[in-house]
Amino acid sequence: MTTELTLLAWTLILAILQILLPAMFRNRETGTEFNVGPRDTERPPVGVITGRLRRAQANLFETLPLFASAVLIAHVAGREGALTLWGAWLYLGARVVYVPLYAFGVPYVRTLAWYVAMVGLVLILAALLLPA
């Protein structure tokens, strides 16, 4: 398996963690009784950290299909190389850093991490579109 595919697999593990984190924080806020029940009553308000983790998750899920598609297309087309390798590393690394930055409410640096992830995605797309 190529490094890019391995990094895609790790990105999927990150996605699973980003599903579990807000769920765990929400469980702390509402308690197990509420979460395993039918939830017929008014839901308690979402806490600050839980809300941030949910938004970080939604942000990942906006670009993850693009990243996965680009990595898979590059693999199938035999276009893997320095651009795809750097792009995949930048995307995953920035997405990992993005989660705690968002959870702790760190401005500017969080946005920088988002831009780095996008640069990674653009590098992979460049490998697909530039002449070989």
Q: Is residue 52 part of a domain?
A: yes
- Could you give the percent of the chain with pLDDT greater than 70? 100
Q: Is residue 89 part of a domain?
A: yes
Mean pLDDT on 72-76: 98
Domain extent for 10: 3-31+48-129
Give pLDDT tens digits for 80-116.
999 999 999 999 999 999 999 999 999 999 999 999 9
Residues near 81 by Cβ (< 8 Å), separated by ≥ 6? 127
Q: How far apart, in Å, are the Cα atoms of 120 and each of 20, 90, 99, 108?
A: 25, 5, 17, 18
Q: Is residue 43 part of a domain?
A: no
Distance CA 66, CA 44 (A): 34
How many structural domains comprise the chain?
A: 1
Distance CA 127, CA 45 (A): 45
Q: Is residue 37 part of a domain?
A: no
Q: Is residue 41 part of a domain?
A: no
What pLDDT does 88 receive? Answer: 98
H helices of the chain, in order, are 3-30, 32-36, 48-76, 82-103, 109-129
Give pLDDT tens digits for 32-58.
887 788 878 888 899 999 999 999 999
| CATH assignment of the domain containing 106 | 1.20.120.550
Q: Which two tokens stand for residue 122?
A: 């653009």
Q: Is residue 97 part of a domain?
A: yes
Residue 123 has pLDDT above 80, yes or no: yes
Torsion sign, CA atoms 13, 93, 26, 54: negative
